[in-house]
Structure 1
């Protein structure tokens, strides 16, 4: 089976909930590990995401609980998992000996109005960070806002992330923040971990062709998100996902595309339904936890692989999008060891 490298799945939310609220142990080994193995996922980026309704001090505690759950998962299955912090950590992943887990931040709300937490989270293993979710914070505007970009504090944080060598994720950045980050951090590793193509489905969560080209010119990747919000409610099938993959490949080349699953159905089934803040991006009638038909979790990844081959994709292109591009990007972006 084809190996998968996935740039974004919020599995830490479930792990932390089960550990803290239900008192469970060994959660990852019992739940997500079998799903990753079934889908042949070799690398999984695990974001830390905190509900915007939580105030800064509580937000920091919530974020640290997710980081703790990440490390507990590694401790539970040391013979099966590896914490990816350096390029050398990818060696057992590419040999098929370990599943690599990499820690990221989906928004820096836990930082409050300070930049020093970037150093702390880097020490805890974070190697990728996006400044925002969909809403505005003290650092930048997200995709749910109109017009704005980085604040002065946000510019300082970008500089600190560059100094630390943390990959910058543009997935939820407003168009202004997207452009400012690329201008402020030339040559620094950037990507959009999960989203889609606005030319296929017009939503602010997706990148337009100009942004796709700018990302490619910066050496970055676009991760296609396997969720109806990005793919389009009317395109919620594997064929709809392939539309986005093919458009992105047409604009930036197949070597500029990867996968960013953002599977949410299991989370909404396993946890109490959170009341997400109004972000102006969720379509009317959208069901929380909606998924792509036939592609609702990492266990289904080989269905996408098979569909790409049936569509006529060359094996080399399938392998590139499935894992090769993201692994190559991380080889360049992470410290050597």
Structure 2
């Protein structure tokens, strides 16, 4: 088991259909799907405000895990856009050395780095007393800053903290980023790249709604694996990290997907592997409250004109 796994499960396909009872019989899996595929929930978080996460064909996206011991930092350099999911405790984020924001556990924070904003260089630091695990999804593309209508608003049961978005006595929103007077220094945190790939084809459009969920999964499939046709959560993208997988949407449109390639995992798809393989998926805009321990898997019928060989 990889050291970054959080929760894991086994199923006859990528995961059991969430609309079925957890004890659904194996016969509910699509024909031709061998048993033994394993899916691991790496992490998940709630979007802290709305935003459009930028992707582009030919541009790279990287998923990383950082372990920050007390006093350690993650240093941000270069233009791009990051969604950060802080899993186990508070962190202090400095988008630049002139501003700072509190990152609490489990929100997914949207961070744009650009020359125009003066945020090309920044630091995230663990100022607490225990280690903190931070997951990041970083695109090489510079995104748009959250607008007034996208800013996170606290619900009635949330208590604003320093650096959070609250409301003043007049009910006006308070900026989550407050002034700072220099970036802290420290030893660099331990960082592991979980997946990275350059987008091939048209990437999905990712418009996130405040409080909706983002989830990262790792899938391990055995040699000879065949999922049968299914629909994942829309919108999802995938990055192979070991071995090769082949995807199909029609009868004969086989596309081989290799490590270093990122692609949209569109609805009504079939995934198979001649040899054992692993790939990472990121599911976006999952409705708040929807269970993410298992990725959404909806079995689909194959195209009506496909030969039986499509399930080989």
TM-score range, shorter chain: under 0.3
More relative contact order in 1 or in 2 (CA 8 Å, sep 6+)? 2
Q: As a proportion of its length, which structure holds more strand? A: 2
TM-score where L is the length of structure 2: 0.26
**Please, what TM-score do these two structures have when normalized by structure 1?**
0.25
Q: Rg: which structure is higher?
A: 2
Structure whose residues are more often helix by fraction = 1
